C-alpha cells in the first residue's frame, strides 16, 4: 500500500475508492469516435486507447473509481457491503472532476469510469453521480470518454440523465438468476436490473434512429456474412415471451430529463452502448447458463459487451465459496472465448455447449472443442469453402478469412500462403485441405486430435493458471488429471 503518512485526504480517498472499484473488469474506452472541440478538453477514439498496464496485466484506460464505498446494501460477495468493517470514503463532485481533468491532461487516461456504492437510496446516489457528470461536462468542459454505472432501483429520469452525460452506461447483472441474486444480493432483484436495461436499450435505439443510424449497434463486419449469427443480416431484437411482463416489461420511454434541453449538452444517449458484468464462480451456474444468458442479453438488449469477472473471495460467508478457493481465471478465459464465438464467429450458445456437457473444456478452447466434436464436417477445402464454414476452422479468425477470400480471387491458395496470412496451422492443420491435400497425414480420430490440440494450448493454459500460487497450479493439474506440467 502507498505511504499515506503525509495525510493528504485526497490521496487517502483515491486509495480507498480505486481499490474498491477495481473488481469491476470493464475498462475499455472504446465504441465511440468523437473529435475534439475548441474550448473543451478531450476527444474519443473508437478503438479505445490503453494508457498503462497494472501489475496484474490489465489495461488502464479510464480513471476507475467509486464515488463512495459507503453502501446500504449487503451483497455478500462485495467488499463494500454494509456489514463489512472497512475504511470508507466519499469523493465530492469537484474532486472527481479535478482528478479526471488533471489525469487526462497528463495523458494518463482516456476518461472516467464512475461507479458507486449506494448511499441513502438508489435515487440519492444516482442524483449525485449525475451532478458530478454534469459538472464535468459543463463547468470543466470535458469532452472525453465517460462510462457510468446505473444504480439498480434508481428512477428512470435519473438514468436517462446519466446516459445523456456519459458515453457508455452499464448495469451489472452480477448473477444470472433470480435465485442466485436472492442468495447473494438480497437487496437486488432481477426486475430492477432487467427493467432499466431494457429501457436503456430502447432509448439508445431511439437516439440512433433519430440521427439516421440503424437501431442496433454496429458489430464486427464479418457478421454480415453469417446467417446463423445472432448479429447476422435481418436479425431483429428478440422481445420477451408474451405475458411474461415481469422479465421483459414494455420499453416505456424515459421521462424527459433536464439535460435534454441544455444546449451545451446536445449529446446522444450512451453512444458507446450498454454493457454488463457477471461474476464467475460465486454461485453454481453452469457455463451453459452463463453463455445462454450472455446471448439473451445481446439479443434482447443489444448490449455492446458482457464482461465476466472471476470471483475473488474477499469475504467469509457460508453462502460463498471458501476464502481459500482458487480464483477461476481459466474458466473466465474460456468464457471470454465462448463470448467471442458468439460475437465474431456466428456461433449460438447451444452449439458451444449442451445440456449433458454444460461446462467449457479446460484443455482446449471452445472453438477447437466444437470442431473436434463435429469431425464429420471436416476437412474443408480452403479454396472453395464459404465464409461461415472457414470461420469455424480452429486457427482461422475473421481477419484471415478476409485475406483468404480476397486472395483466392486471383489464384489458388497453398499452405505456405496460409502461413503468411497468419493462419495458425498448429490448430488448423487437422481441419483443412488446400487443393485437396492435407497438411500432413493425420488420423481423423477424436482422441488423437484432442490430445494434439491440448498440447498446443498447454502453454496458454499454464500461463493463465501460473498467476497464482503453487497450491492453485497443483489443484488445476489434478483437475486435468495430468501427471506432469
Partner 1 sequence: MRIFTCEPEWEAMLTCIFEAFESGLGHKNIKLLLEPVGQVSFLDEYVHVDADPSKADRLSEAIVRRISYEVYTEMAYTAMAFEEDVLDNIYHVLILGFHYGPEVLRMVKFADIMRNREIRARVVREAERFREILRFHRVGNVYIAHFEPRSRVVGYLGPIFSDRMPSEFFVIVDDIHREAVIHGKNEHFYIQKLTDVEFENLLHTEEENDKYTDLWKVFFDSVAIKERANEKCQRNHFPLWARKHAVEFMR
Q: Which residues bind ligand SF4 (CB under 6 A)?
A: 71, 73-75, 78, 80-81, 117-118
Binding mask 293-312 for partner 1 (x = CB under 8 A): -----------------x-x
Given the complex with ligand SF4, which of 14 and 390 has the nearer CB atom?
14
Q: How far is the CB of 66 from ligand SF4 (least distance, A)?
A: 7
Given the complex with partner 1, which of 143 and 299 has the nearer CB atom?
143
Measured distance CA(8)–CA(420) in Å, rounded: 56
Q: How far is the CB of 68 from ligand SF4 (least distance, A)?
A: 9
Say which residues have a Cβ less than 8 Å from residue 23's Cβ, sequence separation at least 6: 79, 309, 312
Q: How far is the CB of 117 from ligand SF4 (least distance, A)?
A: 4
Q: Are 320 and 77 in contact (CB under 8 A)?
A: yes
Q: How far is the CB of 379 from partner 1 (least distance, A)?
A: 30
Q: Are 226 and 387 in contact (CB under 8 A)?
A: yes
Q: Does 468 bind partner 1 (CB under 8 A)?
A: yes
Which of 192, 206, 216, 410 lies closest to 301 in space, CA to CA?
A: 216
Measured distance CA(215)–CA(334) in Å, rounded: 31
Measured distance CA(66)–CA(457) in Å, rounded: 38
78 interacts with, out of partner 1, ligand SF4, none, CB within 5 to 8 A per kind = ligand SF4
Which one of 4-12, 255-263, 366-374, 445-453 is the stretch in contact with partner 1 (CB under 8 A)?
Answer: 4-12
Measured distance CA(438)–CA(398) in Å, rounded: 22
Sheet of 62-66, strands arranged across: 62-66, 111-115, 145-149, 168-170, 274-280, 305-310
Q: Are 454 and 363 in contact (CB under 8 A)?
A: yes
73 interacts with, out of ligand SF4, partner 1, none, CB within 5 to 8 A per kind = ligand SF4
DSSP characters for 101-147?
A: HHHHHTTS-SEEEEE----S-HHHHHHHHHHHHHHHHTTS-B-SEEE
Q: Does 51 bind partner 1 (CB under 8 A)?
A: yes
3-state class of 330 per DSSP? Answer: helix
First to last CA, the chain: 34
Size of the site for partner 1 (CB under 8 A): 50
Q: How far is the CB of 274 from ligand SF4 (least distance, A)?
A: 18
Which one of 42-50, 69-77, 200-208, 438-446 is the stretch in contact with partner 1 (CB under 8 A)?
Answer: 42-50
Given the complex with partner 1, which of 81 and 472 has the nearer CB atom?
472
Q: How far is the CB of 118 from ligand SF4 (least distance, A)?
A: 5
Which of 180, 175, 206 lies closest to 193 in space, CA to CA?
A: 175
Given the complex with ligand SF4, which of 118 and 200 has the nearer CB atom?
118
Q: How far is the CB of 10 from partner 1 (least distance, A)?
A: 7
Which one of 44-52, 198-206, 227-235, 265-273 is the stretch in contact with partner 1 (CB under 8 A)?
Answer: 44-52
Which one of 72-80, 147-155, 461-469, 477-485 is the stretch in contact with partner 1 (CB under 8 A)?
Answer: 461-469
Q: Does 405 bind partner 1 (CB under 8 A)?
A: no
Start-end of H helices in 166-210: 178-184, 190-210
Q: Are 330 and 461 in contact (CB under 8 A)?
A: yes
Given the complex with partner 1, which of 168 and 333 has the nearer CB atom?
333
Measured distance CA(359)–CA(356) in Å, rounded: 9
Q: How far is the CB of 120 from ligand SF4 (least distance, A)?
A: 13
Q: What percentage of the chain's residues is helix, strand, coil (to nearest 5)? A: 40, 10, 50
Given the complex with partner 1, which of 51 and 70 has the nearer CB atom?
51
- Point out which residues bind partner 1 (CB under 8 A): 1-2, 8, 10-11, 14-15, 18-19, 21-23, 35-43, 49-60, 63-64, 99, 102-103, 105-108, 310, 312, 327, 329, 463, 466-468
Amino acid at each position: 500500500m502507498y505511504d499515506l503518512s503525509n495525510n493528504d485526504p485526497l490521496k487517502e480517498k483515491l486509495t480507498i475508492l480505486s481499490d474498491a472499484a477495481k473488481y469491476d473488469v470493464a475498462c475499455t474506452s472504446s465504441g465511440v469516435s468523437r473529435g475534439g472541440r475548441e474550448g473543451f478538453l478531450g476527444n474519443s477514439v473508437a478503438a479505445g486507447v490503453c494508457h498503462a498496464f497494472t501489475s496484474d496485466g490489465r489495461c488502464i484506460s479510464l480513471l476507475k473509481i467509486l464515488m463512495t464505498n459507503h453502501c446500504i446494501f449487503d451483497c455478500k460477495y462485495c467488499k463494500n457491503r454494509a456489514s463489512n468493517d472497512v475504511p470508507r470514503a466519499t469523493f465530492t463532485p469537484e474532486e472527481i472532476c479535478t482528478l479526471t481533468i488533471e489525469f487526462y491532461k497528463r495523458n494518463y487516461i482516456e476518461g472516467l469510469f464512475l461507479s458507486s456504492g449506494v448511499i441513502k437510496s438508489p435515487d440519492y446516489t444516482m442524483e449525485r453521480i449525475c451532478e458530478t457528470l454534469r459538472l464535468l461536462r459543463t463547468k470543466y468542459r470535458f469532452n472525453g470518454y465517460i462510462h457510468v454505472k446505473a444504480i439498480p432501483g434508481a428512477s428512470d429520469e435519473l438514468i436517462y440523465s446519466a446516459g445523456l452525460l456519459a458515453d457508455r452506461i452499464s448495469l451489472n447483472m452480477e448473477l444470472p438468476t433470480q435465485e442466485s441474486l436472492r442468495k447473494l444480493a438480497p437487496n437486488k432483484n432481477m426486475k430492477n436490473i432487467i427493467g432499466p436495461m431494457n429501457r436503456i436499450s430502447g432509448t439508445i435505439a431511439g437516439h440512433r434512429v433519430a440521427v439516421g443510424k440503424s437501431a442496433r449497434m454496429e458489430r464486427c463486419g464479418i457478421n454480415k456474412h453469417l446467417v446463423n449469427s445472432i448479429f447476422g443480416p435481418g436479425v431483429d431484437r428478440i422481445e420477451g415471451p408474451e405475458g411474461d411482463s415481469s422479465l421483459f416489461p414494455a420499453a416505456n420511454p424515459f421521462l424527459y430529463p433536464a439535460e435534454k434541453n441544455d444546449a451545451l449538452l446536445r449529446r446522444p444517449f450512451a453512444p458507446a452502448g450498454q454493457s454488463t458484468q457477471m461474476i464467475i464462480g460465486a454461485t453454481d451456474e453452469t457455463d451453459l447458463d452463463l453463455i445462454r444468458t450472455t446471448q439473451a442479453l445481446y439479443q434482447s438488449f443489444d448490449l455492446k459487451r458482457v464482461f465476466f469477472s472471476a470471483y475473488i473471495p474477499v469475504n467469509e460467508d457460508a453462502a460463498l465459496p471458501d476464502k481459500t478457493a482458487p480464483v477461476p481465471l481459466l474458466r473466465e478465459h474460456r468464457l471470454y472465448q465462448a463470448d467471442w464465438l458468439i460475437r465474431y464467429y456466428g456461433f449460438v450458445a447451444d452449439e458451444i455447449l449442451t445440456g449433458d456437457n454444460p461446462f467449457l473444456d479446460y484443455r482446449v478452447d471452445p472453438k477447437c472443442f466444437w470442431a473436434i466434436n463435429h469431425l464429420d464436417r471436416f476437412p474443408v477445402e480452403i479454396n472453395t469453402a464459404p465464409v461461415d464454414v472457414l470461420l469455424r476452422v480452429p486457427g482461422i479468425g475473421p481477419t484471415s478469412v478476409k485475406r483468404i477470400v480476397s486472395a483466392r480471387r486471383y489464384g489458388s491458395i497453398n499452405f505456405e500462403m496460409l502461413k503468411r496470412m497468419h493462419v495458425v496451422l498448429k490448430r488448423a492443420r487437422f481441419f483443412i485441405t488446400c487443393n485437396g491435400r492435407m497438411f500432413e497425414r493425420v488420423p481423423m480420430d477424436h482422441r488423437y486430435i484432442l490430445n494434439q490440440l491440448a498440447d498446443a494450448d498447454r502453454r496458454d493454459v499454464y500461463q493463465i493458471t501460473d498467476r497464482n500460487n503453487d497450491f492453485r497450479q497443483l489443484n488445476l493439474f489434478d483437475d486435468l488429471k495430468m501427471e506432469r506440467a
